[in-house]
Structure 1
Amino acid sequence: MELETIHLEHVPETHIVYAALFQDVKNAAFLHSQLLARNTEFEYAFIDAASVVSRFHVLSAVFKALTVLLDGTLKTPNVHSEVVCSLSPSNNIAEAYRRFGIGPTTRDVIVIKISHPAAPVTVESVRTHLAAHIECASTSPLSDHAIAACTDLARVRKYYKLGGAPALERFSKRAEGEHEEGLVQGTTAQTRRELTILAVSAMALRGL
């Protein structure tokens, strides 16, 4: 399986991010149950890929969660749950889990694992554990192209309140007469950039 190692700028080298996109996951209900049981062996950020639009979108949430971890001001049980909540434009933690986290019927899952001094892990241990416990059709790096194939545009519009956004209006005109969800992967890079800016801006303004 493919597992990417990411070193974010302006983050200590001791804090390493491992990430992968799992497509057509067969056992999302099992993974969800492990989170509900607070099984520490499954301490990951399991993100529903349908709710995000780009790599930068995801990594913005990761950076925000790491900043909170380093400041010692976590509002959720751990840095991984903080990643999921950081995607939300609201302060409602339960809603953030429900909208951006994994659920029993989630199909495509972005998995983030953060290694830091208080809880160090290796890329080998993460890869072995995920390969043993996630049943899926394929995995891929966290690229814009791979994420776009999973995005549910209607869901993104609803969660970030983007009903009148120009980027979405232009997309809707191109998609006229065709099924919106199936065309998400055909959006232009410019449209994805605009949607990313809108989503990340909403995340940054949370609580204001």
Structure 2
Amino acid sequence: MGVQMSTFPQYPDVHVLLAYFPDVAKTKLASVKENLVSRNPEYDFCFLSTANLVSLQQLQNGVYTAVRNQKQEQMKASTIYTEIMLSLSPVNNINEALKRFGVDETRNDIIVLKVVQAEQLQESEKEFSAKLESILDSKPGALTDDVLYNGFDATKFKKLFKLLGVESQEELTQGAIEGALFRGL
């Protein structure tokens, strides 16, 4: 499976392109992280670790919150991609959000997002997959709730979101969304 695209009814001019790469060499992920830290413009994407993502609903909620914050000019981060990570996090610290949701070289999978305006969609969608396949030297796969649930780091996730004793995907998802929404209150 290739690139998935989504929009939000409240923001029809914003499109989110998503690709999941299940088999990426750790050296490639280390290179991605290096390029992100050095602010290489070729890496203008949101690279997300799957370690603290348990469902697509959790991911969509974080992306929606970031897009809403951008549209309402209430972003806490300097880029939409950092805002997405912060919107997923239950901690109100950008560095901690980057650490928990950014590139994790100890894993071999990654989710990549690109937020584009409607007028940029045609060229972006074509380039998105090809560019990422080149950067990651990997092919995209299908991203489902089962993939996320079977691949998340349960120990770290439960500790981060303070969900000890919770097991079902639905309860973990709800707890993660609530933790991110109530961050800092």
- 1:21 is matched with which residue? 20
Tell me whether 1:126 sits opposite 2:103 in the alignment: no
- The answer to whether the Cα contact below 8 Å between 2:58 and 2:173 also exists between their aligned partners in 1 is yes
- 2:183 is matched with which residue? 206
Shift of residue 52, structure 1, vs aligned partner: 0.7
- 1:188 is matched with which residue? none
TM-score (norm 1): 0.81
Tell me whether 1:37 sits opposite 2:38 in the alignment: yes
Shift of residue 16, structure 1, vs aligned partner: 0.1
What CA distance in whole angstroms lies between the structure 2 residues aligned with 1:5 and 1:117? 12
SS at match of 2:51: helix
- The answer to whether the Cα contact below 8 Å between 1:21 and 1:111 also exists between their aligned partners in 2 is yes
Amino acid in structure 1 at the alignment position of 2:4: E
Shift of residue 158, structure 1, vs aligned partner: 1.3
What CA distance in whole angstroms lies between the structure 1 residues aligned with 2:134 and 2:114? 15
Shift of residue 83, structure 1, vs aligned partner: 0.6
What CA distance in whole angstroms lies between the structure 2 residues aligned with 1:158 and 1:19? 27
Q: Which entry has the higher C-alpha Rg, 1 or 2?
A: 1
What CA distance in whole angstroms lies between the structure 1 residues aligned with 2:2 and 2:137? 14
- 2:68 is matched with which residue? 67
Query: Which deviations, in whole Å up to 9, do the C-alpha atoms of 1:149-203 show, x marking residues without a partner?
Result: 321111111111112x4x33xxxxxxxxxxxxxxxxxxxxxx2111100100000
What CA distance in whole angstroms lies between the structure 2 residues aligned with 1:86 and 1:54? 15
Shift of residue 64, structure 1, vs aligned partner: 0.4
Query: 1:34-183 to 2 correspondence within 5 Å?
Result: 34-116=35-117, 122-136=124-138, 138-163=139-164, 165=165, 167-168=166-167
Change in CA separation of 1:95 and 1:119 when aligned onto 2, cut-off 3 Å: farther
Number of residue equivalences? 182
SS at match of 1:49: coil
Percentage of identical aligned residues: 27
Tell me whether 1:8 sits opposite 2:8 in the alignment: yes
Change in CA separation of 1:9 and 1:140 when aligned onto 2, cut-off 3 Å: farther
Amino acid in structure 2 at the alignment position of 1:48: S
What CA distance in whole angstroms lies between the structure 2 residues aligned with 1:139 and 1:154? 27
Gaps of 5+ in 2: none
- The answer to whether the Cα contact below 8 Å between 1:46 and 1:84 also exists between their aligned partners in 2 is no
What CA distance in whole angstroms lies between the structure 1 residues aligned with 2:36 and 2:119? 20
- The answer to whether the Cα contact below 8 Å between 1:29 and 1:105 also exists between their aligned partners in 2 is no
What CA distance in whole angstroms lies between the structure 2 residues aligned with 1:38 and 1:156? 28
Gaps of 5+ in 1: 169-190
What CA distance in whole angstroms lies between the structure 1 residues aligned with 2:119 and 2:36? 20
Amino acid in structure 2 at the alignment position of 1:197: Q
